[in-house]
């Protein structure tokens, strides 16, 4: 049974979860067996002296259709999950199934973290802040006058929002579904009227005048090989970023590095968003540097 439509945002910070001796949390998505989230969360909990079980609720592995999303959420509630991470392709589809949204999730229109508490589902977006922190640390001084983003789905909505908060003056979003990119840019233009935000279809034409490009699609993942940006569109003066973190060096980043481009992989975003999600699940602050060490241990980076 679907939840009532989400409220327009939480007007105050809800009380944190009550401390427990153990927690059950999970990740909902497709093709997520390579996710490093279970190790990061479990290791951080162990370092703090409590138990955390992290399950992968993989629709591909379970043979489920997208229409099974409400049933999977119900299952998590019945089993006593404290919360869920949400990844491709459900960050936007999950919205009608929630009771409340944080102001940031409401503004972005996508959720990657859900608190399950007192019979209510509260949606948050930690992707935007995670990407912002990663970009600040990994791309200091990067030119932000004109940026191209490929992908306008759930993750792309978060990174686009983050880019505008970071100070990007002209943001162009290209998506295989032009209508989706157009809807996202229209909303962002209203929220950031002092910036130029637009959708486009011809990547070759717009990337020629850009200073940086971000891949915010699944292309490049182990389960979705390839690159969202053809190598012949890259040039040494372009900075290139990717949200994909498995593998760390995607085809796009490999092509960019071969040309001498400044690059940013997706590891920082996943680490910083996970640290915030951990806090939302457990009510305990995560040690970001320690979570980074957990991540590097399991990826061999």
Task: Note the pLDDT tens digit of each residue in 220-237.
Answer: 998 899 999 999 999 999
Is the same domain home to 66 and 114? yes
Q: At residue 207, what are phi and psi to the nearest 5 degrees?
A: -70, -20
CA distance 115 to 216: 25
Residue 75 structural domain:
22-125+270-299
> Could you give the number of structural domains in the chain?
2
Q: How far is C-alpha 244 from the geometric centre of its chain's CA atoms?
A: 10
CA separation (Å) from 167 to 78, 127, 163? Answer: 43, 17, 6
Indicate which residue of 13, 18, 36, 91 is catalytic: 91
Q: Could you tell me if residue 7 is inside a domain?
A: no
- Using DSSP's 3-state secondary structure scheme, residue 88 falls into coil
Q: Could you tell me if residue 152 is inside a domain?
A: yes
What is the percentage of the chain residues whose pLDDT exceeds 90? 88
Looking at residue 16, its pLDDT comes to 62
Is the same domain home to 147 and 251? yes
CATH for 199 = 3.40.50.720
Does residue 98 have a cis peptide bond before it, meaning omega lies within 30 degrees of 0?
Answer: no
- The predicted-structure confidence for 49-82, as pLDDT tens digits, reads as follows 999 999 999 999 999 999 999 999 999 999 999 9
Tell me whether residue 18 is one of the annotated catalytic residues. Answer: no
Residue 51: both structure tokens together: 């138990």
């Amino acid at each position: 049974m679907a939840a009532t439509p989400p409220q327009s945002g939480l007007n105050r910070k809800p009380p944190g979860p009550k401390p427990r001796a153990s927690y059950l949390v999970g990740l909902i998505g497709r093709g997520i067996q390579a996710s490093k989230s279970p190790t990061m969360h479990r290791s951080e909990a162990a370092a703090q002296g409590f138990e955390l079980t992290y399950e992968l609720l993989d629709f591909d592995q379970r043979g489920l259709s997208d229409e099974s999303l409400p049933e999977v959420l119900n299952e998590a509630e019945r089993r006593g999950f404290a919360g869920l991470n949400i990844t491709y392709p459900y960050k936007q589809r999950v919205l009608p199934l929630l009771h409340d949204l944080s102001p940031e999730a409401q503004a972005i229109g996508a959720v990657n973290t859900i608190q399950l508490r007192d019979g209510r589902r509260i949606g948050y977006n930690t992707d935007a802040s995670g990407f912002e922190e990663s970009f600040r640390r990994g791309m200091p001084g990067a030119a932000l006058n004109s940026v191209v983003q490929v992908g306008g789905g759930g993750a792309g909505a978060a990174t686009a929002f983050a880019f505008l908060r970071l100070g990007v003056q002209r943001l162009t979003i290209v998506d295989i579904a032009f209508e989706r990119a157009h809807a996202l840019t229209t909303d962002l233009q209203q929220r950031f009227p002092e910036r130029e935000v637009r959708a486009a279809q011809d990547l070759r034409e717009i990337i020629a005048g850009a200073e940086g490009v971000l891949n915010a699609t699944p292309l490049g993942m182990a389960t979705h090989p390839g690159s969202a940006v053809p190598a012949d569109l890259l040039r040494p003066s372009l900075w290139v970023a990717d949200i994909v973190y498995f593998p760390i060096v995607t085809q796009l980043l490999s092509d960019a590095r071969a040309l001498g481009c400044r690059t940013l992989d997706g590891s920082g975003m996943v680490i910083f968003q996970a640290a915030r999600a951990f806090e939302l699940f457990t009510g305990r602050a995560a040690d970001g540097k320690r979570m980074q060490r957990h991540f590097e241990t399991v990826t061999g980076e």
